[in-house]
Amino acid sequence: MDLSKKRTFNFNAGPSALPLEVLEKAQKELINFHGTGMSIMEMSHRSAKFEDIHNGAITQMRKLFSIPDEYEVLFLQGGASLQFSMIPMNFLTIDQQAGYIMTGSWSEKAYKEAELFGKPYEVASSKENKYSNIPALVDFQFNSDDAYVHLTSNNTIYGTQWSVFPDTGNVPLIADMSSDIMSKPVDISKFGMIYAGAQKNLGPSGVTVVIVRKDLLEKANTEIPTILKYSTHADSNSLYNTPPTFGIYMLGEVLNWVEEKGGLEAIAKNNEVKAKVIYDAIDNSNGFYTGHATPESRSLMNITFRLSDEALEKQFLSEAKEAGFVGLDGHRSVGGCRASTYNAVPLEACRALSDFMIHFQTKHS
């Protein structure tokens, strides 16, 4: 059976689309993985077979993302939301400052957690512009003795994305890349730490990837619970407790898929083409559709837009759903429309959405 004929146009913001090839392979291997007579979900995380899967995923991530040897790659749980707390727990003391660049709801949540452990402050913010842009680098002022500077690389709710990252000198730069990790090449050496929930570009929900410089672990706070120390997971190869085994297996297969597609350079080019198809439908609509993000800050992962009339907007979303488009509703906190075009969303789906948008405008203009 050709499963692709029965699949929807999935624009969900997360959990989001996964590569069909990966899903089909997982389906074949689900009950009897490589002749073991059991599923990966039944397999001991201490077994040699799972160790191969686990280490293979780490190796593939290092290769594709060009991660230097001086960084640890960890597979944790709790999502990016737990990282909002773990970061200040490990790297911020009560009398230290940490700079936070405010670009949306996730930045706000990270900042709030940091207030429990130290003295966070706003380096810059675009809140007054309803988070429609990434703050200009010239506006940044941070202290040379800050514990770290934190940013969110892509903002799912408002549809903005960093194109150039700030140079923070000797102050570690920490980035929440949950919604655009592995969507393009990144110079890892600019960061002290990168973290990301897997459920956008890396696999199913349940796995959190942390890429952290080893020297930061040596300076981290030791007076916190064992399981909340990054060093605990680094010392045990992320096997301190039972990991999300199936999620790690899927993550590894998604990384293999990225390699088969030509690596991050090819993925990035495809993401640019996909986003342009939809942004063109917005920009050429003469105001029928209005994008939330300013053009220079637009995300290639989450395209946010509105229609001028609220009733018409509801009709658009209703007809889109009937036409097989899933996940186009904007985040509940802001409303509107949002198309999430993560790595696994095919170009054909973006073209279909563009055609639908143009057709809907023609009917209602």
Q: How many CB atoms lie within 10 A of CB 322?
A: 8
Token pair 């640019």 in the structure block, residue: 272
Residue 295: strand, helix, or coil: helix
* Token representation of residue 162: 């960093």
Token pair 């799972």 in the structure block, residue: 50
Residue 116: strand, helix, or coil: coil
Q: Per DSSP, what are the bridge partners of residue 176? A: 152, 195
Known catalytic residues?
Answer: 106, 176, 200
Round to whole Å and give the CA distance between 172 and 147.
7
Residue 15: strand, helix, or coil: coil
Cα distance from N-terminal residue to C-terminal residue, the chain: 41
Q: Pairing relation of β-strands 119-125 and 97-102?
A: parallel
For residue 57, give the H/E element and its range.
Answer: helix 48-65
Supply the DSSP symbol for 192. Answer: S
Round to whole Å and give the CA distance between 233 and 239.
7
Supply the DSSP symbol for 298. Answer: B
Q: Which residues contact 326 (CB under 8 A, 6 or more apart)?
A: 8, 9, 10, 11, 12
For residue 160, give the H/E element and its range.
Answer: strand 160-161
Token pair 């810059």 in the structure block, residue: 124
* Token representation of residue 88: 């200040």
The answer to whether the CB of 135 falls within 8 A of the CB of 159 is no
Residue 262's identity, in one-letter code, is G
Q: Pairing relation of β-strands 71-76 and 208-213?
A: antiparallel
Round to whole Å and give the CA distance between 167 and 300.
22
* Token representation of residue 45: 């995380």
